[in-house]
Amino acid sequence: MTDQAIPLQQEEKQFSLAKDAFIRLIANRLAIVGMVLVAFLFFVAIFGPYLTPYDFLSQDLMARNQAPSWQHWFGTDDLGRDIMSRVIYGSRTAVIVGFSTVSFSLVIGLFMGALGGYFGGKVDAFVVWLIDITMSIPSLLLVIVINVSLKPPLVNWMDAQFLATGNEFYRNTIWVDFVLVFGSLALIKWPKAARIIRGQILSIRNKNYVLAAEALGVPTSKIVRRYVIPNAIGPIIVYISAALGEAMVLESSFSFLGVGVRPPIPSWGNMISDGLRIWQLYPHVLAAPAAVLAIVTIAFSFLGDGLNDALNPRQWK
Amino acid sequence: MTKLLEVNNLHTRFKVRNGYLHAVNGVSFSLDKGEMLGVVGESGCGKSVSMMSLIRLLPPAAQITEGEVRIDGEDITHASVSRVNSIRGSKVGMIFQDPMTSLNPFMKIGDQLVEGIVYHKKITKAEALKQAAKYLKMVGISNAEHRLTEYPHQLSGGMRQRVMIAMALLNEPSLVIADEPTTALDVTIQAQIVELVKDLREKLNMSIIWITHDLSLLAGMVDRIMVMYGGYVVEEAVLDDIYNSPLHPYTIGLLKSIPSLKTEAGSRLPSIPGAPPNLFTVPTGCPFAPRCEHKIDRCQTEVPALAAVPGSSGDRPHRVACWVDMRGRGVEQ
């Protein structure tokens, strides 16, 4: 019996936690819904240019504000641009902003949180002080200040570079918008990541199972890899999925207010802003980007919840 | 008789906000191969810290300032970190107080059990798992192969403690330190674990240090008892001597406070008045003096040394640290 049971165990051992978590995840219906929607969002964002029936900039002034039809599934806006194409391109904006923001904030947060959690004492006090200060800055104000103070010199510099070198890269100032949006969002969001990581490290370092592993003589690198990280990863993964959704919403709200991604580059935020002027007459202009934004946010929440449950063996039934 | 463990004048202190907490103040004892020692004392008397100091399993704030520990003649206090790491688990196993939190919830029992042995003995994982199943059976877990694939939360507290015991034994250590292994368990499970450890000790010929605050638990289990107070060893003797002729007022107090069936219903259980000393300053006299009803002037000014009692002889003399000769004034139990 022993001989039969052990090889079986052997096969399962690779990535056993990930495998178990995945089985658990796909048993959760809401998580599946979230996962499918998020996967669809990424698919659309990546293959957007091949999917759009029209160019997102091409105007058709003969067909302004048209209601949804077979030619234009989501209708057209006040310049006769196809809304579906713009929503698809907006998903690119959202995904690019979401990913860069979350990765930047995670890198900063991981570094700061680990610093505070590991070293404790004065280093920790400094990290906590920095977190508190950053969190006390109103995010909208910060973004507006960055936009007003940093953007003009940056755009001027780009123009000067283009004139001097003739390099096409400097001509497209759209990237300035993106960089400013990522940068300011990351600055706003890192404290949350840092807090989560710091708390995780502090609590896991004092856990009995870490002590028990130390008592067995398990090397430190292995303790970090097999004890600290798996126990810390759940909240961090949940943070990532929540933060992705949140970053997309924030990007939209900044674009809506005119401090994020500027037209003509489509963002769900600036599309909603455009639609707001005429929505009483043509509700579809507002409805399409708003509905997509809402669905994406909910999808990320479902996925985050599902991941949280799946990654925590204590919640398995 | 070969000495497995020798501890000389061990001092451990913790760095705290304003100065130091002197947790262990000069502990000396030794342990033979196959011997079982009970370490008794109230909470905060330094028993856990002194035993953890043996393998330097201390939080970063703690520091061994003086003394030495020898395991099989090898100096541990000055050994390199990697050397200590290889001694932990392979020569010295530990069983912890709280089995509910001592297992990593994210790892299967099997993976966790073999973590140490794969590292120490350089064997394959399949081999190690086979070993682990054998030890799980030995500690009385049925269906061991299946249990290896389960997660900690699928096991009860008693079972988890058995797993912890198997984990400590898997490397076949010559010394096992059990830090209040039954405190978190209910009484019937407690008895089972005690029986199990007694049984395993005979089978595997290990030395065991059993830390507890429950003197009555040690009866019929250990060979010798060491009583600690305020970071000092106050009395050490073979089991019978501690129970029949305790010589330190603290030991007497502990024995008196064990409830027995003879105690009259409704009467109060005797207790030791006062609380253990705070250890922020090293006491100038006997640490127990403030709570002692037999104290004399000398107790306030001089720390009594742990010395063999006149009349007791042999390899294992009855040692006590008290200025007052308590012979004949002990308990009536």
Tens digit of pLDDT at every position of chain B (333 positions): 568 899 989 999 988 888 888 889 889 998 988 889 999 988 888 888 999 899 888 887 888 998 989 988 888 888 888 888 888 888 898 888 888 888 888 888 998 888 888 888 888 888 899 989 988 988 888 888 889 988 888 888 888 888 988 888 888 888 999 988 888 778 888 888 888 888 888 888 889 999 998 888 888 888 899 999 988 999 998 888 888 888 888 988 888 888 777 777 777 878 888 888 888 888 788 888 888 888 888 888 888 888 887 666 667 788 888 888 777 665 544
Kindly state whether residue A11 falls inside one of the protein's structural domains: no
* B217-221 contact pairs (CB < 8 A, 24+): B217/B182, B217/B190, B218/B38, B218/B40, B219/B243, B221/B36, B221/B38, B221/B194, B221/B197
Q: Å from B123 to nearest chain A CA?
A: 14
Taking contacts as CB-CB distances below 8 angstroms, the residues of chain A near B57 are 211, 214-215
Residue among B107, B120, B126 minimizing CB distance to A217: B120
Q: Report the distance separating Cα A162 and Cα A168, nearest Å.
A: 7
Give the number of A-B residue pairs with CB atoms closer than 8 Å: 106
Confidence of residue A315 (pLDDT cuts 50, 70, 90): low
- Residue A259: per-residue pLDDT: 79
Kindly state whether residue B270 falls inside one of the protein's structural domains: yes
Backbone torsion region of residue A273, taken as left when φ is above 0, otherwise alpha when ψ lies between -120 and 50, otherwise beta = alpha
Comparing A7 with B297, which gets the higher pLDDT? B297
Kindly state whether residue A243 falls inside one of the protein's structural domains: yes
Closest-CA residue of A relative to B96 is: A212
The torsion defined by the Cα of A16, A21, A23 and A28, in degrees rounded to 10, comes to 170
Kindly state whether residue B297 falls inside one of the protein's structural domains: yes
Residue among A6, A9, A209 minimizing CB distance to B103: A209
Give the CATH number of the domain where residue B13 resides. Answer: 3.40.50.300
Q: Å from A135 to nearest chain B CA?
A: 29
- What the block records as the tokens of A52 is 């759009």
Confidence of residue A131 (pLDDT cuts 50, 70, 90): very high
Closest-CA residue of A relative to B154 is: A314
Report, as an integer, the average pLDDT of A295-312.
85
Report, as an integer, the average pLDDT of A12-17.
49
The yes-or-no verdict on residue A10 having pLDDT over 50 is no
Locate tokens 């269906």: which residue? Answer: B143
Residue among B86, B120, B153 minimizing CB distance to A313: B153
> Which of A216, A218, A227 has the most B C-beta neighbours within 10 Å, making it the best mutation to test the interface with B?
A216
* Cβ contact, residue pair B57, A313, below 8 Å: no
* Cβ contact, residue pair B87, A217, below 8 Å: yes
Closest-CA residue of A relative to B132 is: A6
Q: Which domain holds residue A230?
A: 18-50+74-315
* Cβ contact, residue pair B98, A215, below 8 Å: no
Q: Å from B200 to nearest chain A CA?
A: 19
Confidence of residue A9 (pLDDT cuts 50, 70, 90): very low
Comparing A111 with A72, which gets the higher pLDDT? A111
Comparing B236 with A154, which gets the higher pLDDT? B236
Kindly state whether residue B80 falls inside one of the protein's structural domains: yes
Report, as an integer, the average pLDDT of A263-272.
81
Per-residue pLDDT tens for A51-85? Answer: 777 777 777 777 777 777 777 777 777 777 888 88
Q: Report the distance separating Cα A96 and Cα A91, nearest Å.
A: 8
| Bond from prior residue into A264 cis (ω within 30 degrees of 0) | yes
Kindly state whether residue A13 falls inside one of the protein's structural domains: no
Report the interhelical angle of A2-12 vs B125-138 (nearest 10°): 130
Taking contacts as CB-CB distances below 8 angstroms, the residues of chain B near A316 are 151, 153
Comparing A213 with A18, which gets the higher pLDDT? A213
- What the block records as the tokens of B97 is 């107080």
Put simply, whether B121 touches A (Cβ < 8 Å) is no
Give the CATH number of the domain where residue A140 resides. Answer: 1.10.3720.10
Q: Å from B204 to nearest chain A CA?
A: 19
Taking contacts as CB-CB distances below 8 angstroms, the residues of chain B near A12 are 149
User: What ipTM is given for this predicted complex?
Assistant: 0.77
The yes-or-no verdict on residue A98 having pLDDT over 50 is yes
Q: Å from B253 to nearest chain A CA?
A: 32
* Cβ contact, residue pair A313, B106, below 8 Å: yes
Average pLDDT across chain A, whole number: 80
- Using CA atoms, how far residue B137 sits from A6, A276, B143, in Å, is 15, 71, 8
Per-residue pLDDT tens for A184-223? Answer: 888 888 898 899 888 888 888 888 888 888 888 888 778 8
Taking contacts as CB-CB distances below 8 angstroms, the residues of chain A near B96 are 208, 211-212, 215
* Cβ contact, residue pair A9, B104, below 8 Å: no
- Residue A4: per-residue pLDDT: 39
Taking contacts as CB-CB distances below 8 angstroms, the residues of chain B near A5 are 133, 145-146, 148
* Cβ contact, residue pair B115, A216, below 8 Å: yes
Kindly state whether residue B20 falls inside one of the protein's structural domains: yes
Kindly state whether residue B68 falls inside one of the protein's structural domains: yes
**DSSP codes, chain A:** -HHHHHHHHHHHTTTHHHHHHHHHHHT-HHHHHHHHHHHHHHHHHHHHHHH-SS-SS---GGGTTPPP-SSSTT-B-TT--BHHHHHHHHHHHHHHHHHHHHHHHHHHHHHHHHHHHHH-HHHHHHHHHHHHHHHHS-HHHHHHHHHHHHHHHHHHHHHHHHHHH--GGGG-THHHHHHHHHHHHHHHHHHHHHHHHHHHHHHHHT-HHHHHHHHTT--HHHHIIIIIHHHHHHHHHHHHHHHHHHHHHHHHHHHHHTSSSPTTS--HHHHHHHHHTTTTT-HHHHHHHHHHHHHHHHHHHHHHHHHHHHT-GGG--
Q: Å from A184 to nearest chain B CA?
A: 36
Kindly state whether residue B101 falls inside one of the protein's structural domains: no
Residue among A7, A10, A227 minimizing CB distance to B104: A227
Taking contacts as CB-CB distances below 8 angstroms, the residues of chain B near A14 are none
Q: Based on the structure, what is the number of domains in chain A?
A: 1
Q: Which domain holds residue B223?
A: 3-91+173-320
Taking contacts as CB-CB distances below 8 angstroms, the residues of chain B near A222 are 115, 119
Q: Based on the structure, what is the number of domains in chain B?
A: 1
- Residue A17: per-residue pLDDT: 65
Q: Which of B269, B267, B271, B262 is nearest to B291 (CA)?
A: B271
Task: Return the HEC string of chain B.
Answer: CCEEEEEEEEEEEEEECCEEEEEEEEEEEEEECCCEEEEECCCCCCHHHHHHHHCCCCCCCEEEEEEEEEECCEECCCCCHHHHHHHECCCEEEECCCCCCCCCCCCCHHHHHHHHHHHHHCCCHHHHHHHHHHHHHHCCCCCHHHHCCCCHHHCCHHHHHHHHHHHHHCCCCCEEEEECCCCCCCHHHHHHHHHHHHHHHHHHCCEEEEEECCHHHHCCCCCEEEEEECCEEEEEEEHHHHHHCCCCHHHHHHHHCCCCCCCCCCCCCCCCCCCCCCCCCCCCCCCCHHHCCCCCHHHHHCCCCCEECCCCCCCCCCEECCCCCCCCCCCCC
* Cβ contact, residue pair A226, B104, below 8 Å: yes
Q: Parallel, antiparallel, or unpaired for β B232-238 and B307-308? A: unpaired
Q: Å from A290 to nearest chain B CA?
A: 40
Residue among B89, B129, B133 minimizing CB distance to A216: B89
The torsion defined by the Cα of B178, B180, B183 and B186, in degrees rounded to 10, comes to 30
> Which of B91, B104, B163 has the most A C-beta neighbours within 10 Å, making it the best mutation to test the interface with A?
B104
Rounded percentage of chain A residues whose pLDDT exceeds 90: 4
Q: Å from B184 to nearest chain A CA?
A: 14
- What the block records as the tokens of B177 is 């330190």
CB contact residues (below 8 A), chain B span 248-307, against chain A: none
Kindly state whether residue A56 falls inside one of the protein's structural domains: no
> Which of B106, B119, B120, B169 has the most A C-beta neighbours within 10 Å, making it the best mutation to test the interface with A?
B106
The yes-or-no verdict on residue A231 having pLDDT over 50 is yes
